[in-house]
Structure 1
């Protein structure tokens, strides 16, 4: 099933592709086995692998492994990687307790709403 999901993500050209599916499934499986440390470490390793190797050929850098060349300004590349690693803090801070119902519904609404807002802003900026 995992390979099928990875394959579908690649065929459907979803954001992040099959690698994003792997980044979701591996920590989930490890976390379900009550191994929070392994889950956090595996996600961190996957993020570093993505930025150090995979993004080199699919990202916005001019040349593969440009981040190794000291003559190029790759600060945005490292900032993006650092922000992705900071996301792991959310996983570490999860206390496995169910939150209040209104908070749950806020998050269910807030995430798609902010994506819709970004889409509208992007559409308006392109027309200007």
Structure 2
């Protein structure tokens, strides 16, 4: 059973029954917290060459898990999953073109812009959609739908082929660096498992948030497992994304004020502003 909130979002029965006692953060709070931490992380990205402290990017490690968690909730509750994915794809295209042109028009030797969280959210959303189809196929015993959903999961894998092509061309001496960069930008317009920001493990995390959305302990367990894997395999500071478990645990299942377009605007705007300041002042 489900009901509509004032902003059109569907609430689960648990939310209506008040089974989130002591949980103080709604979805809007999570997104705003993630936005603040993301700002700190990108300050480090843009100004690390002039001594921006490491703690800024350490503080930013929980950002992706928080946004992916919020995205899993948004995808579940959205009225039109197709339109939701279309918005993310358009935003991904826009971000790729925007960062390419920005770096072309205003070079910055200290910063290489590869920021495109929208691509990660889009690919994650695809796997959420395929999961829905797979589970629906199981319930209906529809083998065709199950196979279609499984094959759909291979689409982001197949879309990585243009990246391999660019890699091959990059070893050709008669191909100019600008041509390689231009072709790479075109390849990046097709979100895939190789080019998603943060790596494919974040797509796995976001999909797990969706699969286990009714089991908060399992959601946090997956986050901690992937954080531990990052610590023991990759080293570095990415393991600190585990601290996203705290606000996720405090999530009360409510939408809050929404602010649907806030991230779509804030994300490219603050990156552009920080990049320009870095280019002109450093």
Q: Do the aligned partners of residues 19 and 97 (structure 1) sit closer, same or farther apart at CA in structure 2, a change above 3 Å counting?
A: same
Post-superposition offset of 1:5: 3.4
**Does 2:232 correspond to 1:48?**
no
Post-superposition offset of 1:50: 1.9
Which residue of 206, 213, 234 maps to 1:24? Answer: 206
Higher helix share: 1
Larger relative contact order (CA 8 Å, sep ≥ 6): 2
Q: Do the aligned partners of residues 36 and 81 (structure 1) sit closer, same or farther apart at CA in structure 2, a change above 3 Å counting?
A: same
Distance in structure 2 (CA, Å) of the matches to 1:3 and 1:121:
41
Residue pair 2:230, 2:239 contacting (<8 A) in 1 also: no
**Does 2:240 correspond to 1:89?**
no
Count of residue correspondences:
98
- The TM-score normalised by the length of structure 2 is 0.30
Distance in structure 2 (CA, Å) of the matches to 1:25 and 1:93:
20
Q: Do the aligned partners of residues 21 and 96 (structure 1) sit closer, same or farther apart at CA in structure 2, a change above 3 Å counting?
A: same
The structure having more radius of gyration, on CA atoms, is 2
**Corresponding position of 1:9:** 193
Gaps of 5+ in 2: 1-151, 161-191
Gaps of 5+ in 1: 57-76
- The TM-score normalised by the length of structure 1 is 0.59
Which residue of 245, 251, 257 maps to 1:100? Answer: 257
Distance in structure 2 (CA, Å) of the matches to 1:51 and 1:124:
36
Residue pair 1:26, 1:39 contacting (<8 A) in 2 also: yes
Computed over aligned residues only, the root mean square deviation of the Cα atoms, in angstroms, reads 2.6
CA offsets, 1:19-40, max 9 Å, x none?
2211211122111xx1011001
